[in-house]
Amino acid sequence: MPRERTYLRYQVYRSEARKRAGVATAQMRCISGADMSEVRFEPIDAEALAVYQSWDDPIFSWEDVVVWKAREPLSLDIAIWFELELCGLCFANPNNSRQRIRIVRLEGKPGKAHPLKNQIAALALLAIDEFARIIGSQVIEVQEPMPGAIPVYQQLGFTFDVQGRLVLPVESKVS
C-alpha cells in the first residue's frame, strides 16, 4: 500500500507541475507570433507517441518512456502541444534523494518550423522547475547533454559544476 500511495502522490505532483507551467505560459501572451495560451503540457501518452511517429528523423526513441514511466514512478514526462500540434517531448527523473532532477531526454519536433520552434527547452524547463520545487529538488541536471544543445542550456542559465555536470539551481519562488 505505501508504494501505491507514493505513486498516486507523484501522479498528482506531475499533474500540478504541468498545470502550473501551463498557467505561467498562458501569462506570457505571445512569443514569436504564437499565442502562448494555446500551449498545453500533457503526459506522454498513446496520442503523443502516435503523433511523434510522424516526426521526420527524431533523435530519440520515445517509446522507451512507457517502460521508464512504469519503472520510475517519481519521473516527470511532458508532451508540449501547441493547439493540436505536438511540438516537443521531455522526460526527467529525480535521483533517490530527490535533491537532483535529471533531464534524461528533451526533443523539439525536428524538421519544418512549428509554432514553438526554439522554445521547447525553455517551456519544458518551466514544468521541470515546478516539479522540482514540489518534490524538494535543489538542482536540475542535464544527463548526457548533446554537444549541440549545450549552448541552448547555457542560454537558459545552466552552467557546468565542479564535477562537469550541466546544472541549474531550482528557482526559489514561493508557491
pLDDT of 26 = 82
Beta strands 159-160 and 100-108, pairing class? unpaired
pLDDT of 1 = 42
Q: Which domains does the chain have, with CATH numbers?
A: 2-169 (3.40.630.30)
- Other CB atoms within 10 Å distance of the CB of residue 151: 10
Q: Order of strands, edge to edge, in the sheet holding 39-42?
A: 39-42, 76-82, 85-94, 100-108, 139-142, 166-169, 159-160
Left if phi > 0, otherwise alpha if psi is -120 to 50, otherwise beta: which for 66?
alpha
- Give the rounded distance of the alpha carbon of 119 from its chain centre: 12
pLDDT digits (tens, 9 = 90+) for 38-89: 899 999 999 999 999 999 999 999 998 989 888 888 999 999 999 999 999 9
Prediction pTM value: 0.90
- Other CB atoms within 10 Å distance of the CB of residue 126: 23
